Structure 1
Amino acid sequence: MRDLHLPGRSAVYACNGMAATSHPIAAQVAVEVLKAGGNAADAAIAGAMVLNIAEPQMTGIGGDCFVLLKPPGSEEIVALNGSGRAPRGLNAAELRARGLTVMPIQAIESVTLPGAIDAFCRLNADYGLKSLEEILAPAIHYAEEGIPVAPRVAFDWVDDLPCLKGAARDFYSFGGKAPAVGQIFRAPGQAEVLRRIAREGRAGFYQGEVAEDMITSLQALGGTHTLDDLAATACDYTTPVSGLYQGVELVEHPPNGQGATAILLLNILGHFDIKTMDPFGSQRAHIEAEATKLAYDARNRFIADPDHTSRLAHMLHPETAAKLAALIDPKQAMPQAAPLSEAVHRDTIYITVVDRDRMAVSLIYSIFWGFGAGLASSKFGINFQNRGAGFTLAEGHPNEAGGGKRPMHTIIPGMIRQNGRVTMPFGVMGGAYQPCGHARFVSNLTDFGMDPQAAIDAPRCFSGAEGMEVERGYSDQIRAELAAMGHKVVIPHVPLGGGQAIGIDGDLLVGASDPRKDGCALGY
């Protein structure tokens, strides 16, 4: 139990249903859907759609999603890939001929087709109990009436504002300025789009006036996107990947998501006696940082569009982890194994819901960087994602940019299964940090016996493209010890990610939500 004399928050306990996400209004909407007879799939979609308005810098209907779902009465986990593809006109050779060596970050070339809405419509049709009209009603209400800008959202908005261009600046700024905490953000154009989806399903988004607004706007900005590209957007059911750590099975979404990286990272850490280390000491942080460098190097080599990822089994094989673990010096940092191919960002939302019948949903939904590409459609204000920045321009690479391909994705929903039973849907946001965040969360639970809230609250560090980022939750002494081992230690401007989790223990649900964000866990 936490020390009640100190600041912090307790885990949330309930029996009938629970939701956890990064904004309280979205969590409340999800619980209200459960109480009105909806299931976890209904509630997760309803909450995610509210987050379009609550956290527009993080997510939106122009983005992608990935879902892990445990149906009621089953311990199997279904994976749904709601990531869109590059337009058919995207050509890496043409970009290289223009002198580009990496994908542009917030530019028209990085805009991929939005896959989330197709996935939400499929999820509703296959697993939901309520109609789209019912579950989109809260988001339509808040898009019209507005939501006060929360503190973390306001903090991010200031950083992300400079990327907004043209129509995006009109729709997502307040006279060219970022909003103050408490100012009301409204998106009436999105309300109209959601009304059309509620009436017509995916056709209300991928066909007709909304589709024409997106494609006309993209082409006016220099994009090669076509109505055929948009109409062809479709999600896919697929098979999760998993691995064992300390008797716990970590279940992840397969490529083009980077979830396999978290499994490899835990496989490497399994060669060290982590549980004997100080959970917030330099030794654990060092070993984790070195394992992260090696796991991410494998990620950058292998993970790509599912049709182009051919060495996944090798990446997850125990022998691979053993060989990589042997490269780690317990006392000295190695150089970065290879430059990270994926542009660094921190912008994502995550929501998890468990209902009375123990359907569990783990859903992550993003436009990649803050406000995506910084571009929006001219009529409805649909913010375009820049997920194509996750491609590489290295010729012949599995993740080489190309028309009709899905880029390597950073967003990864997770679930934990023990003794064949799903015990916890969870997610840790934060762009490139996410696999490291998943591994640390699982280690916090298993190696150090933390409850879900304590495991999320715990200080974080990450060895990435900007050096070894060590949150202020660590002491100066630990930072000095890490620097003495050869790490380039920095204190990040923004805390590392966010996270939510719901533990399932028979009749009891235990929810947790990250104080690094504005949200909470709520149950009934």
Structure 2
Amino acid sequence: MPVAAFDRITGKAFASRSEVYATHGMAATSQPLATQVALDILKQGGSAVDAAIAANAMLGLVEPTGSGIGGDLFAIVWSAKEQKLYGLNASGRSPKSLTLAQLQAKGLKFLPPYGPLPVSVPGAVDGWYQLHAKFGALPMKANLAPAIRYAREGFPVSELIAYYMQLSGKRLAQYPGFKETYMPQGHMPATGDIFKNPALANTYEKIAKGGRDEFYKGSIARSIANYMKAQGGYLGYDDLASHHSEWVEPVSVNYRGYDVWELPPNGQGIAALQILKTLEPFNLQAMGQTSAEYVHLFVEAKKLAFADRAKFYGDPAFNQIPVQQLIGEAYNQQRAKLIDPNKAAKSVAPGNPNLQHGDTVYLTTADSQGNMVSLIQSNYRGMGSGMTPPDLGFVLQDRGQLFDLTPGHFNSYAPGKRPFHTIIPAFVTKAGKPWLSFGVMGGATQPQMHAQILINLIDFGMNLQEAGDAPRILHSGSAQPTGEQMHDGGYVSLESGFPMETRRELSKKGHVLQDALGAFGGYQAIGRNPQTGVYRGASESRKDGQVAGY
């Protein structure tokens, strides 16, 4: 990553800006209009959850390349009143009418990324209402009103989102309903073009009036079911009507005095915890953030965690997942001993924990009461499956593509099952008090970047903005939860802030280096000073986002 400014008076030279500070409330999202909507809701007396819902609804409009109510949602909420964390898994399940045998009969080795087959139940709207019922202060009508207004009036499309919309248009224009919704002028909007989505405004208004049942049991559900049937899909009305989110207990490890919290599978959050616990015995601070020694150790720890990810992560309703064993200190220190400090591993086997008992948007908000929300929401691949029910204004997700079609795998396809999920919110407490709400959007990138952000903060002493702007490490090509096999040893991609000497040393250790563009994730964060209550925030310089407070 290019150096942002050599003439910064304070902070690291690579930082794009200073942290943002405020006392009453704060929001960090990947699009400035969504951040401003969240602040408006907070100023109206809304809670952090109200602000998060309003921002998420807005992002479904202004950043459809990574979010929307056709997708799923996960959240971690800090309740200031109860002084505890809550976790919500609002991911949807596969169609009950589609079986593994039917997919195998089609000759498929993997589910396709687009079209009707990878569509699973969209969980986001139920997630909103679950969060609102427990933590909301304003009516849902108020939370959805800003997005409804912008959808009718239109908004100027921002730079990076326009770029990804252009790419999505090339892939998805073939699917019925997509062009009518997103290409009313015959083409996808360019940077600065005013884009309107009146169909989404109508859908949001129906949800605001009829609640979550309007989406899962009312006219919206019937529209989705009829459309999917016409497209030869399997997602039906009964799948939508029977959907429900689940409140889950976040899980944590202590990393150098900080309690790092993630949600348990079917997401991949515990991979970040495994990486951190594997690296904890090493003196990373002495190595330096851009050293070959640190990069090598990080990549090797990631390989070990992702080998376990490929084998053990899936829907806990269908599997006995050894979560506590996988994130345990003894297990990960044992795994750390497998790392050769001088040689990159070409293949890594999953471990053997005791089994007896055992394209996305991220946003974070905080309110004047001390409540904080870490929320992530996605369609999966960019704008999703391409399946765009007429007059609803959104694309259905293609999250089902992440199922494995091999019988007996933890993530094997089954009817009514939640697929392995890449999207993960995170939270950090210290001495039982909230310290940081953060996330990094971007598929398999996410656990790697969660760990790197925290190492930057805790080991390398960076502030929130520096920790996000620092050049990142990405390892790709490990075993996948879909059963897909990749290049032995995988590839290491480094942003341009890493020196040539580091790259040469990594090559000597046997790493295969490969350039990557736009693959290093999108970060947002809000931290809190437990003594003063002051919030500090950071936003991703690689995206169109903004952090702001008041």
CA contact (8 A) 1:83 1:406 kept: yes
1:389 aligns with 2:401: yes
1:335 aligns with 2:335: no
CA contact (8 A) 2:288 2:460 kept: no
Q: TM-score, normalised by structure 1?
A: 0.95
Q: What SS does the corresponding residue of 2:60 show, helix, strand or coil?
A: helix
Provide, for residues 375-405 of structure 1, a one-character-per-residue CA deviation record: whole Å limited to 9, x for no partner. Answer: 2112323301011111111111111111110
Q: Aligned residue for 1:266?
A: 276
Q: Aligned partner of 1:386: which letter?
A: D
Shift of 1:205: 1.2
Q: What SS does the corresponding residue of 1:228 show, helix, strand or coil?
A: helix
Q: Aligned residue for 1:344?
A: none
Shift of 1:271: 2.5
- Superposition pairs for residues 424-435 of structure 1, below 5 Å? 424-435=436-447
Q: Aligned residue for 2:536?
A: 510
Provide, for residues 69-122 of structure 1, a one-character-per-residue CA deviation record: whole Å limited to 9, x for no partner. Answer: 011233310001110111102212221222211222223111000001011012
CA contact (8 A) 2:28 2:548 kept: yes
Q: Aligned partner of 1:13: which letter?
A: Y
Q: What SS does the corresponding residue of 1:404 show, helix, strand or coil?
A: coil
Provide, for residues 98-147 of structure 1, a one-character-per-residue CA deviation record: whole Å limited to 9, x for no partner. Answer: 22112222231110000010110121122100101111000101111122
Distance 1:177 1:290 in 2: 44
Q: Aligned residue for 2:315?
A: 305
Provide, for residues 271-319 of structure 1, a one-character-per-residue CA deviation record: whole Å limited to 9, x for no partner. Answer: 2221111112222111111111110110111111121342222212222
Shift of 1:174: 5.5
Q: Aligned residue for 1:319?
A: 330
Provide, for residues 487-517 of structure 1, a one-character-per-residue CA deviation record: whole Å limited to 9, x for no partner. Answer: 2211212140011111110321000111011
Q: Aligned residue for 1:451?
A: 463
Shift of 1:336: 4.6
Distance 1:304 1:104 in 2: 19
Q: Aligned residue for 2:4?
A: none
Q: Aligned residue for 1:79?
A: 87
Which residue of 49, 55, 61 corresponds with 1:41?
49
Q: Aligned residue for 2:505?
A: 481
Aligned length: 517
Q: Aligned residue for 1:343?
A: none
Distance 2:345 2:416 in 1: 37
Residues 1:480 and 1:2: Cα distance change in structure 2 (over 3 Å): farther
1:179 aligns with 2:189: yes
Q: Aligned residue for 2:157?
A: 149
Q: Aligned residue for 2:424?
A: 412
Q: Aligned partner of 1:383: which letter?
A: V
Residues 1:176 and 1:471: Cα distance change in structure 2 (over 3 Å): farther
Q: Aligned partner of 1:522: which letter?
A: A
Distance 1:107 1:294 in 2: 34
Distance 1:317 1:338 in 2: 18
Q: Aligned residue for 1:124?
A: 132
Distance 2:412 2:519 in 1: 31
1:356 aligns with 2:368: yes
CA contact (8 A) 2:14 2:469 kept: no
Shift of 1:475: 3.0
Q: What SS does the corresponding residue of 1:503 show, helix, strand or coil?
A: strand
Q: What SS does the corresponding residue of 2:317 show, helix, strand or coil?
A: helix
1:372 aligns with 2:384: yes
Shift of 1:323: 2.3
Provide, for residues 149-207 of structure 1, a one-character-per-residue CA deviation record: whole Å limited to 9, x for no partner. Answer: 11111222233322212212332236453322101222111110100111111122112
Residues 1:513 and 1:418: Cα distance change in structure 2 (over 3 Å): same
Q: What SS does the corresponding residue of 1:308 show, helix, strand or coil?
A: coil
Q: Aligned residue for 1:25?
A: 33
Q: Aligned residue for 2:496?
A: 472
Q: What SS does the corresponding residue of 2:84 show, helix, strand or coil?
A: coil
Distance 1:180 1:447 in 2: 41
Q: What SS does the corresponding residue of 1:403 show, helix, strand or coil?
A: coil
CA contact (8 A) 2:15 2:470 kept: no
Provide, for residues 406-434 of structure 1, a one-character-per-residue CA deviation record: whole Å limited to 9, x for no partner. Answer: 01111000000111111111111111010
Q: Aligned partner of 2:382: which letter?
A: G
Residues 1:225 and 1:324: Cα distance change in structure 2 (over 3 Å): same
Percent identity reads 40
Q: What SS does the corresponding residue of 1:393 show, helix, strand or coil?
A: coil
Provide, for residues 333-378 of structure 1, a one-character-per-residue CA deviation record: whole Å limited to 9, x for no partner. Answer: 1125379xxxxxxx01011011000001000010000111122112
Q: Aligned partner of 1:96: which letter?
A: Q
Q: Aligned partner of 1:222: which letter?
A: G
Q: Aligned residue for 1:134?
A: 142
Distance 1:2 1:163 in 2: 44
Unaligned runs of 5+ in 2: 1-8, 351-358, 478-489
Q: Aligned residue for 1:523?
A: 549
Distance 1:6 1:208 in 2: 51
Distance 2:142 2:264 in 1: 31
CA contact (8 A) 1:495 1:516 kept: no
Unaligned runs of 5+ in 1: 340-346
CA contact (8 A) 1:19 1:30 kept: yes
CA contact (8 A) 1:90 1:401 kept: no
Q: Aligned residue for 1:97?
A: 105
Q: Aligned partner of 2:413: which letter?
A: A
Name which of structure 1's ranges 93-102 and 379-388 shifts more when overlaid on structure 2. Answer: 93-102
Distance 1:412 1:168 in 2: 28
Name which of structure 1's ranges 514-523 and 321-330 shifts more when overlaid on structure 2. Answer: 321-330
Which residue of 48, 62, 68 corresponds with 1:54?
62
Distance 2:429 2:25 in 1: 19
Residues 1:473 and 1:336: Cα distance change in structure 2 (over 3 Å): farther
Residues 1:420 and 1:7: Cα distance change in structure 2 (over 3 Å): closer
Superposed CA RMSD in Å reads 1.7
Q: Aligned partner of 2:274: which letter?
A: L
Distance 2:14 2:260 in 1: 32
CA contact (8 A) 1:255 1:309 kept: no
Q: Aligned residue for 2:237?
A: 227
Which residue of 289, 293, 298 corresponds with 2:303?
293
Distance 1:348 1:79 in 2: 19
CA contact (8 A) 1:427 1:501 kept: yes
Residues 1:107 and 1:324: Cα distance change in structure 2 (over 3 Å): farther
Distance 1:297 1:6 in 2: 33
Q: What SS does the corresponding residue of 2:417 show, helix, strand or coil?
A: coil
Q: Aligned partner of 1:335: which letter?
A: K
Shift of 1:324: 1.6
Q: What SS does the corresponding residue of 1:490 show, helix, strand or coil?
A: coil
Q: Aligned partner of 1:26: which letter?
A: A
CA contact (8 A) 1:252 1:415 kept: yes
